[in-house]
Structure 1
Amino acid sequence: MTMTAAPVGPQRYAERYLATLEAPTQARQDIALALEAWGLPQLVDVAKQVVTELVANAVEHTDAATVSASITRTGTESARIVVTDTSRTRPSPGTPAPDDENGRGLLLVDALAHDWGSELVHGGKRVWAELRADGPQ
Structure 2
Amino acid sequence: MTSLSTSVQAASVGHPAYSQTFPCEPSTAEICRRLVRDVLGIWRLGNLADRAALIVTELIANAARHTPCKEIRLILGRPSATRVRVGIVDREPSRLPALSQAADDDESGRGLLLIDAVADHWGYDLHGSDRRPWGKEVWAELRIKDEE
Q: TM-score, normalised by structure 1?
A: 0.87
Asked if the contact 2:69–2:91 (Cα under 8 Å) also holds between the matched residues in 1, the reply is yes
1:36 alignment partner in structure 2: 41
* Distance in 2 of aligned mates of 1:58 and 1:96: 18
1:72 alignment partner in structure 2: 77
3-state SS of the aligned residue for 1:17? strand
* Distance in 2 of aligned mates of 1:41 and 1:126: 24
1:120 alignment partner in structure 2: 126
1:102 alignment partner in structure 2: 108
Q: Deviations over 1:47-102 (max 9, x none)?
A: 00001101111111100010111111244553011210011211111110012121
Write the mapping of 1:77-96 to structure 2, written as runs, cut at 5 A.
Answer: 78-88=83-93, 89-96=95-102
Q: Aligned pairs, how many?
A: 129
3-state SS of the aligned residue for 1:68? strand
- Report the RMSD for the aligned CA atoms in angstroms: 1.6
Unmatched tracts of structure 1, length 5 or more: 1-5
Asked if the contact 2:123–2:138 (Cα under 8 Å) also holds between the matched residues in 1, the reply is yes
Asked if the contact 1:54–1:83 (Cα under 8 Å) also holds between the matched residues in 2, the reply is yes
Unmatched tracts of structure 2, length 5 or more: 1-10, 129-133
Asked if the contact 2:125–2:136 (Cα under 8 Å) also holds between the matched residues in 1, the reply is yes
1:3 alignment partner in structure 2: none
Q: TM-score, normalised by structure 2?
A: 0.81
2:31 is aligned with 1:59? no
3-state SS of the aligned residue for 1:103? coil
2:141 alignment partner in structure 1: 130
User: What amino acid sits opposite 1:100 in the alignment?
Assistant: D
